[in-house]
Amino acid sequence: MAEELIGSRYQVLRPIGAGGMADVYLARDLNLQREVAVKVLRPDFSRDSGFRVRFLQEARAAANLTHPNIVTIYDFGEDPQRLFIVMEFVDGTDLKTLLHRRTNIPRPAALDLLIQVCDGVGYAHRAGLVHCDLKPQNILVSNSERAKITDFGIARALASIPLDEQREIVWGSPQYFSPEQASGAAPSPASDVYSLGVVLYEMLTGRLPFEAADPRLLAELHQVGNVLPPSSFDSSIPQGLDQIIQKVLSKEPAARYRTADQFSRVLQSLAAERPLPKVDVSHAATQALRSPQADSLDWWAVALGMIAFLAIGGLVPLWLWVWLLYQ
């Protein structure tokens, strides 16, 4: 597909990703002369008239989101037989690929990434948008370790396809779905919070809270299954973090944090309480760690001592004069 033009404007350079509903290409915007990512939806989705209308509506809403942790949408449109959306190109990889490479992510880094994601999702919640399909594949991590969320609005557009025409991909990734989404109810900001909890669980433990080959069984587990605390797999995970994850993975939406903003504030408080790294307390290290302020305090002590000495010493002649006078 190299050298092909999309929308008579975007020159395809190379493929950079593929999924069940779209292919993603690195392209050059010939008008603005910059690199962009172009997501081209599969033809079978593009042919559905209801989906096309809903997709364009959701793309317009998502294009209004401007946040450092949300992938910016530049353009969207239709070629004769396909829908496409043009986004900023994030030089990095997605979180799922990182998890495949590392199995799990160290706790400080995991908290930092999820706080960034919560900030972006919380911004969307304040704008009245629910993502509906948060998962590691939709979280990009740049080479500078900035997290960016993609695919806002696409999951909601997919919901417009009639049930008898829906494929497995229409229901997103059941590994990350909230219980209410698994039962067919409308998602809410609390549904996104649940999905974020699953993502954090996977980052910390290297596994999902529920796993099953059958999507229907997986949906049932989300609705009735018990979640093992993350510390069951990693004893270094503190009890406070266990409790936070248990809360966001509650079956009832009202029992979770209502928005991603609330979840972010809780995680920030937890991250701020991380113990300081151990330092070398040997004599050499102690000398090296002495601050100028500490040295200035020592000089003040010496000065005060000298003043006290002079004050007391100045009384000696007076005492001698009084003694001689009375003699």
Distance CA 178, CA 191 (A): 5
At 56, is the secondary structure helix, strand, or coil? helix
Kindly give the residue spans of alpha helices, DSSP state H, lying in 211-282.
215-224, 239-248, 260-272
Q: Are strands 5-6 and 139-142 parallel, antiparallel or unpaired?
A: unpaired
Measuring CA to CA, which residue among 152, 159, 191, 173 is closest to residue 58?
Answer: 152
Say if CB 37 and CB 88 are below 8 A apart.
Answer: yes
Residue pointed to by tokens 């601050």: 291
Catalytic annotation, pick one of 94, 133, 151, 192? 133
- Is 133 catalytic? The answer is yes
Beta bridge partners of 219: none
Compute how many other C-beta atoms are within 10 angstroms of the C-beta atom of residue 133: 25
Say if CB 201 and CB 209 are below 8 A apart.
Answer: yes
Distance CA 17, CA 26 (A): 9
Q: In the sheet that 34-41 helps form, which strands lie side by side, from edge to edge?
A: 5-6, 10-18, 22-29, 34-41, 82-88, 73-79
Cβ partners under 8 Å of residue 211, min gap 6:
175, 218
Beta bridge partners of 5: 11
Say if CB 181 and CB 192 are below 8 A apart.
Answer: no
Catalytically active residues are: 133
